[in-house]
Amino acid sequence: MTRNLGSLDRTLRILVGLVLLSLLFVLDSGARWFGLVGLVPLLTGLVGNCPLYSVFGFSSCPLSGRK
């Protein structure tokens, strides 16, 4: 599995994922479960690979073209 996320993209995804996951602890209503959506950007940021980027052939990683 090749990386297709650059460092800025990975950092932003991890931060957004953590903020969304924090909704589980901050909100008291049924909408707090929306925070589980934060798992997607958190996991893609940690792994460094976005499946949708692969499908569309996009990459924000500057070293993706080198071998």
What whole-number distance in Å separates Cα of residue 23 and Cα of residue 21?
A: 5
pTM above 0.75, yes or no: yes
Give 11-29 pLDDT, tens digit per residue: 999 999 999 999 999 988 8
Q: Tell me if residue 56 falls in helix, strand or coil.
A: helix
Which amino acid, residue 7?
Answer: S
What whole-number distance in Å separates Cα of residue 28 and Cα of residue 12?
A: 26
What whole-number distance in Å separates Cα of residue 44 and Cα of residue 51?
A: 8
Apex CA 13: angle with CA 7 and CA 17, to 5°? Answer: 150
Give 31-57 pLDDT, tens digit per residue: 888 899 999 999 999 999 999 998 998
